[in-house]
Amino acid sequence: MSALACLAERPSLIERLFITKKVNKEGIYKVKLCKNGEWIVVTIDDYFPCHPMGGPVFSKAHGNELWVLLLEKAYAKLHGNYFLLRGGFANEGLMDLTGCPSFSFILDEVNEDIQSGKFWNMLKQADDEGFMIAGSTPGEDRWSEGQLPDEEGGGLVPGHAYSII
């Protein structure tokens, strides 16, 4: 979902994933995703897992938009099921959604570059060149699953990913 949030900043990158461009009465959609460097067409329907008497179990739509739910369903189908999508790394999702290479840094391993300002300069250059940038925190994300944060917490949510724009 964090990779989708990054991509949402560039609607043309979302649009190019859809082979089926319009809502259709059959409820069948074709989406292309890049897995292991190869573009794969995934066919899905518009039936989504929902809570009894409620909304979708996984991602939520903004208004009457279907694109997030459709892409999540296609991605879940490509990986085996929705539950296998929990966790993971944003850079891997970005590779699957763009077909472009990505890389990641563990901040503890680049501490010297952070202290010297080299890391900031590299991030600034990446941003200037139009790279998509995401960040994540270690731990388990219990906040977005409806639970309350730790009493003394605040700030970044453990186990959560963020789009950096």
pTM of the model: 0.79
Taking Cα atoms as reference points, which of 154, 160, 115 lies closest to residue 134?
160
Give me the residue spans of the domains in the chain. 2-164
CB proximity list for 53: less than 8 A, separation 6 or greater: none
Partners of residue 28 on adjacent β-strands: 45
Structure tokens belonging to residue 122: 């590299």
pLDDT tens, residue order, the chain (165 aa): 778 888 888 899 999 999 999 888 999 999 999 998 899 999 999 888 778 888 877 877 777 788 899 999 999 999 888 887 777 778 888 899 999 988 888 888 999 999 999 999 999 999 999 898 888 887 766 655 555 555 555 677 777 788 887
At 140, list the tokens.
Answer: 């388990």
Query: Where does the chain have alpha helices with state H?
Result: 2-7, 11-15, 67-79, 90-98, 111-116, 118-128
Q: What is the dihedral of CA 128, 1, 155, 150, to 10 degrees?
A: -170
